[in-house]
Amino acid sequence: MAAAARARVTHLLRHLQSTACQCPTHSHTYSQAPGPSGKTADYAFEMAVSNIRYGAGVTKEVGMDLQNMGAKNVCLMTDKNLSQLPPVQIVMDSLSKNGISFQVYDDVRVEPTDGSFMDAIEFAKKGAFDAYVAVGGGSTMDTCKAANLYASSPHSEFLDYVNAPIGKGKPVTVPLKPLIAVPTTSGTGSETTGVAIFDYEHLKVKTGIASRAIKPTLGLVDPLHTLHMPCQVVANSGFDVLCHALESYTAIPYSMRSPCPSNPIQRPAYQGSNPISDIWAVHALQIVAKYLKRAVRNPDDLEARSKMHLASAFAGIGFGNAGVHLCHGMSYPISGLVKTYKAKEYNVDHPLVPHGLSVVLTSPAVFTFTAQMFPERHLETAGILGANIRTARIQDAGLVLADALRKFLFDLNVDDGLAALGYSKDDIPSLVKGTLPQERVTKLAPRAQSEEDLSALFEASMKLY
Amino acid sequence: MAAAARARVTHLLRHLQSTACQCPTHSHTYSQAPGPSGKTADYAFEMAVSNIRYGAGVTKEVGMDLQNMGAKNVCLMTDKNLSQLPPVQIVMDSLSKNGISFQVYDDVRVEPTDGSFMDAIEFAKKGAFDAYVAVGGGSTMDTCKAANLYASSPHSEFLDYVNAPIGKGKPVTVPLKPLIAVPTTSGTGSETTGVAIFDYEHLKVKTGIASRAIKPTLGLVDPLHTLHMPCQVVANSGFDVLCHALESYTAIPYSMRSPCPSNPIQRPAYQGSNPISDIWAVHALQIVAKYLKRAVRNPDDLEARSKMHLASAFAGIGFGNAGVHLCHGMSYPISGLVKTYKAKEYNVDHPLVPHGLSVVLTSPAVFTFTAQMFPERHLETAGILGANIRTARIQDAGLVLADALRKFLFDLNVDDGLAALGYSKDDIPSLVKGTLPQERVTKLAPRAQSEEDLSALFEASMKLY
Ligand SMILES: [Zn+2]
Ligand SMILES: [Zn+2]
Ligand SMILES: [Zn+2]
Ligand SMILES: [Zn+2]
């Protein structure tokens, strides 16, 4: 990192930290705080989590689990890349060995859409399955959750359960079939959450379904699947874990989120930080700080890759019950508007910004911006990431965390900001426009954002080093 | 604490720490380690946990939850002491307001027996309920779990699901009805666990049912119920939390527990310490260290009592997935053989040693004994409890932890050891005999125990200060 470049980035970030819009609409820095009545904020939080079974080789137990559940006709979902590889083979062997009939659906789309969800849903409806197994990354697990939901609720319209305002956000009251998730990447934590993300093609916007009811029954977290993952995949998945942990830990507290639901079924999964999600976020972050670099650099480092597989689940429990905010909200246009960037080591024939990369590149700017609300938490996480915080001033918390993040990314040879993905200043209005519909997550940020704020955050993320 | 008494106790403990039986049967200090083949130890662990909703006043949501579940005919279980008090009243109001029919069973016995379980089971079978609500302490929640289980499995014999060797320890494969647990004490953590403890009268021994399948669907952790609890009840419940945390954190690791189950349904809930239970144990312990004294001393300290209510659930998740060991194994004869001791501030007409007191009084001796196996963990917990561990020698870990525990108990004015409960040296053989059947938990201790070891542990627990 050249000294001059570093000075320029620091200047941009410092500006970001100190700006506070003084117009009438934005003179409150905390748009989510309870209103004058003080009565509408929530007073409770709920932790819901899949059962998690962890161990090297645990995948081979899946057939017995399904037999114990009494399943006779199982849907196995995966993608074309994985369908001939060991994780899927081990699952099929275990099913056969335990006499479980199954059908394979391997048309899962990486970065699923409403169209690809519908295709999987049709398959599920026709099959009349009594249980599901999802083997793959977040895309596969999310597709399988959607298939299970709509096959269990055959008279629902697709938009019924999709997050408002795009969908109707109806609560799920139908009983679902058991779903066992076998994650093969260490990033999304989708095996623990009740969230399924997809691109709504009509509006070209990322949205999802979020309900505790769709979380997997059981996550089989088998670190053997993480060996021999390409280094870039490990790195980007790890950045997703990093942002899940940082965002859920710095999200507004549940007791400042409003409105308070009138029925507990309306309490969102993304309910703000709380004493339980905090624990998972901090522990996930500690593992990332200690093991991610090792996991990236050595495909055979079973210890490091095992720890990251567990960290992915930990962070999933955290953000699945607290939510994410700006890095994720801003990431959707970053991946959606991709022009020519092709991620190295990803087996794809079209431009692609991996999810983990799209969330982490804005993180230095985002946390510089949000730190004024909970500076202690920002400083604490900087310390976990290796910054010397003993002599740091609390008002520099955001800059200290941003510096720690930039150093972390630089050490891992990460592309130098959004410019390296092919974005320039001219793209900022579109990027901002693409972020605005992500209010469901961006409103969980500890500091409210104007459009000008979002522009400044994208601008400060163009170059990192 | 007089200096002479302290020196004597320290001498006893030091002896305990250094003894190592050299006879052929006991020359291994770690009976649970894998045998020469190294093949039988487990390689995986599973975390299962009830959904937990936490908040002051959250009890009033219960009627809506049951309505959301489609329940129409609910069984409300509680005990006679509580049945006229606010927690039960709030639940009944919420059920009525949401149009849910219910029947009340308030014959739960404090310290339930197979007989009292059977009575509740009969009630449940007759009622043909479609959901359960348990309002009370561990006794009520455990009774309700048993009622739900056997009413859902009407052709089973009572001993079918009881832990081996007393019962048959059959795995639960029948589907149960939803159970919502509303804890009114801050100790057992039973709202999070799949464990139901009772006295098997015929053999005069404490045993239970342990299966992930019987854990509550939802725990409503409402700190308002902990206000105005008598101080002694708060203290003793807190000691239970303390021991759940310490025992689960120092239990043998899951990867040293044998045999490895041939089917995942046989993997016990008490599976040994693991990276997930460790997190819950440590966080529960931190809360105990920071808030228990305040919670005991001031019935109106909502913050301290709220934190302890959460710590009880945290420790429950920890020990519910890892197990407890010697303090709990030895506690059952301590409470079972009670002669005349009547706990202060407990509304009972018969001699009673509260569970939390019966587990904590042996803790200084127990951890002095076990520390040689995982001294770092013992020292770490001593540090959390306030000991200065910077200058401590690792070989003194057990003594340092024992000292921290004795100081903690002394500060809270706890009875001076088993002698204060009316026990003397002459009772030790009976106490040892009563511990032997508790192998299900005692074998999770990190160090194997001979009968002589158990005698020495009881002897060292006669006086603490
Ligand atoms: Zn403005
Ligand atoms: Zn993510
Ligand atoms: Zn011996
Ligand atoms: Zn206990």
Rounded distance from Cα B26 to ligand 3 centre (Å): 5
Q: What is the pLDDT of residue A294?
A: 97
Q: What is the pLDDT of residue B19?
A: 62
Mean pLDDT of A323-327: 97
Mean pLDDT of A408-422: 96
| Domain B3-46+229-460 and domain B57-221 have a common topology | no
> Is there a cis peptide before residue A165, judged by omega within 30 degrees of 0?
yes
Give A-chain residues touching B276 at CB under 8 angstroms: 52, 54
ipTM score for this prediction: 0.90
Answer whether A124's CB lies under 8 Å from A75's CB: yes
Nearest to A456 by CA among A346, A370, A355, A396: A370
Rounded distance from Cα A428 to ligand 2 centre (Å): 22
Chain segment A193-240, per-residue pLDDT in tens: 999 999 999 888 889 999 999 999 999 999 999 987 899 999 999 999
Q: How far apart are CA A58 and CA B43, in angstroms?
A: 8
Contacts A–B by Cβ distance under 8 A: 97
Mean pLDDT of A368-379: 96
Q: What is the pLDDT of residue B202?
A: 87
Q: What is the pLDDT of residue A5?
A: 66
**Domain spans, chain B:** 3-46+229-460, 57-221
| Contacts of B414 by beta carbon, 8 Å cutoff, 6+ apart | B235, B239, B357, B360, B361, B464
Asked whether residue A24 carries a pLDDT value surpassing 50, the answer given is no
Instruction: Using a CB–CB cutoff of 8 Å, tell me whether B274 touches chain A.
Output: yes
Which residues are A179's β-sheet partners? A132
Distance of CA B383 to the CA centre of its chain: 23
| Contacts of B98 by beta carbon, 8 Å cutoff, 6+ apart | B63, B64, B66, B67
CATH code given to domain B57-221: 3.40.50.1970
CATH 1.20.1090.10 fits domain B3-46+229-460: yes
Rounded to whole angstroms, what are the CA distances from B298 to A268, A393, B243, B303, B414? 35, 37, 22, 10, 17
Nearest to A141 by CA among A233, A78, A187: A78
Nearest residue, CB atoms, B68 vs list A46, A64, A265: A265
Answer whether A47's CB lies under 8 Å from A248's CB: no
Give A-chain residues touching B54 at CB under 8 angstroms: 44-47, 274-276
> Where is pLDDT greater, at B261 or A35?
B261
Q: What is the pLDDT of residue A15?
A: 75
Q: What is the pLDDT of residue A66?
A: 97
pLDDT band at A70 (very low <50, low <70, confident <90, very high): very high
Beta carbons of A173 and B68 less than 8 Å apart = yes
pLDDT band at A111 (very low <50, low <70, confident <90, very high): confident
Chain segment A115-157, per-residue pLDDT in tens: 999 999 999 999 999 999 999 999 999 999 999 999 999 999 9
Locate the chain A residue with the closest alpha carbon to B65.
Answer: A264
Give B-chain residues touching A57 at CB under 8 angstroms: 43-44
- Token duo for residue A1: 């990192």
Give me the residues of chain B with pLDDT under 70, please.
1-6, 18-39
- Count of positions (residues) in chain A: 465
Chain segment B407-461, per-residue pLDDT in tens: 999 999 999 999 999 999 999 999 999 999 999 999 999 999 999 999 999 999 9
Distance from CA of A150 to the nearest CA of B (A): 18
Q: What is the pLDDT of residue A345?
A: 76
Rounded distance from Cα A235 to ligand 2 centre (Å): 13
Beta carbons of B43 and A57 less than 8 Å apart = yes
Chain segment A248-273, per-residue pLDDT in tens: 999 999 999 999 999 999 999 999 99
Locate the chain A residue with the closest alpha carbon to B68.
Answer: A173
Beta carbons of B279 and A279 less than 8 Å apart = yes
Answer whether B104's CB lies under 8 Å from B89's CB: no
Asked whether residue A435 carries a pLDDT value surpassing 70, the answer given is yes
Answer whether B401's CB lies under 8 Å from B378's CB: yes
Nearest to A196 by CA among A138, A135, A132: A138
Locate the chain B residue with the closest alpha carbon to A275.
Answer: B310
Instruction: Using a CB–CB cutoff of 8 Å, tell me whether B279 touches chain A.
Output: yes
Answer whether B292's CB lies under 8 Å from B243's CB: no
Q: What secondary structure does DSSP assign to A61-124, as a single string?
A: GHHHHHHHTT--EEEEE--TTTTTSHHHHHHHHHHHHTT-EEEEE--PPSS-BHHHHHHHHHHH
Mutate to test the interface with B, among A53, A94, A100, A256 (most CBs of B within 10 A): A53
